[in-house]
Structure formats: structure tokens, C-alpha cells
């Protein structure tokens, strides 16, 4: 009976001692940021707002009141046919999420030059499972957007405000 109580405590101590910790977002140098240039319905903007808020950065609507201005130059989801049969039926599609942005101070000093992020995923397609493939497409887009948000946060963490 005693062994059953000791084993979980020993396992917990071992994990704590090895330095195991969940991945945390990088610390950001700015306390406030304004996101400009996104469309009002952009899912990428919503994901970025959520992650910035959870990182402790205050989102400002007025760029003049923020320490940094995240200027979106391009935000797009693209879907192209990658392969089709001789009869013209689609067999594979390519999904892309593209973000082009730059970061500056409200006064216009460039903190991060224009950067391009592009993620691509290939997905097989079958007309008989169109609804399932539509759900798979949405999940792939969501995963790519989360990857882009993580890359943006890493780039924002490198900015020197001083």
C-alpha cells in the first residue's frame, strides 16, 4: 500500500527536477500594440488578438496611443487545385495562408521591416466525402494560422524599443 503512495510522488519529483515545463509564449518588449490593416472578419487577426492578450499586451484601437503599430500589408487564404483526373475531377488541393506585415512606432520609426510569412499544406480531395474534406480544410487553415501567430510572436519578441 505504501508503494502505491510513494510512486506518484516520486514520478512528480522526477519531472520537476528534469526542468520539464510547458512551452510558453516569448516575452514581448511592448506593453501595448495596435493592429491595423486586417479585415474585420480575419480569423488570423482574431487569433493574434487572443495570443497578444494572453501574453499581457494591451490592444489599442488608436495607433497613436500604442507603443508599437502592427501594420498588416497582406492577409490571405488561398486554395488552388494541385492535381486532377483526366475526367477533370479534383484529387488534391493546395491550401496557403499568407501574411505580410511590418511593425513601427506611432511616430513612424520602423521596428521590424516588412516580413512575409507563407504556410502551405496539401490536402487530398474526394467528392464523395465533400463535407468531411470541408471540415479538414477548416482545421488545416486554423492550424496554419496558429503557426503563423506563433512565428509573429517570436518576431515581435526580438524588437528593441529603446
The predicted-structure confidence for 63-121, as pLDDT tens digits, reads as follows: 999 999 999 999 999 999 999 989 889 999 999 999 999 999 999 999 999 999 999 99
CA angle at 98 for the pair 94 and 104, rounded to the nearest 5°? 170
pTM of the model: 0.81
Give me the domains of the chain, ranges plus CATH numbers. Answer: 28-156 (3.30.160.150)
Angle value at C-alpha 157, between 153 and 159, nearest 5 degrees: 125
Interior CA angle at 71 toward 142 and 58, to 5°? 75
- β-pairing, 110-124 with 58-60? unpaired
Amino acid at each position: 500500500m505504501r508503494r502505491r503512495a510513494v510512486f506518484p510522488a516520486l514520478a512528480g519529483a522526477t519531472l520537476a527536477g528534469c526542468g520539464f515545463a510547458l512551452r510558453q509564449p516569448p516575452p514581448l518588449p511592448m506593453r501595448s500594440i495596435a493592429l491595423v490593416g486586417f479585415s474585420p472578419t480575419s480569423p488570423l487577426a482574431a487569433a493574434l488578438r487572443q495570443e497578444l492578450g494572453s501574453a499581457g499586451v494591451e490592444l489599442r484601437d488608436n495607433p497613436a496611443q500604442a507603443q508599437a503599430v502592427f501594420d498588416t500589408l497582406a492577409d490571405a487564404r488561398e486554395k488552388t487545385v494541385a492535381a486532377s483526373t483526366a475526367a477533370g475531377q479534383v484529387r488534391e488541393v493546395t491550401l496557403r495562408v499568407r501574411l505580410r506585415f511590418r511593425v513601427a512606432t506611432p511616430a513612424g520609426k520602423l521596428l521590424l521591416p516588412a516580413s512575409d510569412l507563407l504556410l502551405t499544406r496539401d490536402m487530398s480531395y474526394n467528392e464523395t466525402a465533400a463535407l468531411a474534406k470541408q471540415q479538414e480544410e477548416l482545421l488545416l487553415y486554423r492550424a496554419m494560422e496558429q503557426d503563423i501567430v506563433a512565428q509573429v510572436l517570436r518576431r515581435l519578441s526580438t524588437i528593441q524599443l529603446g
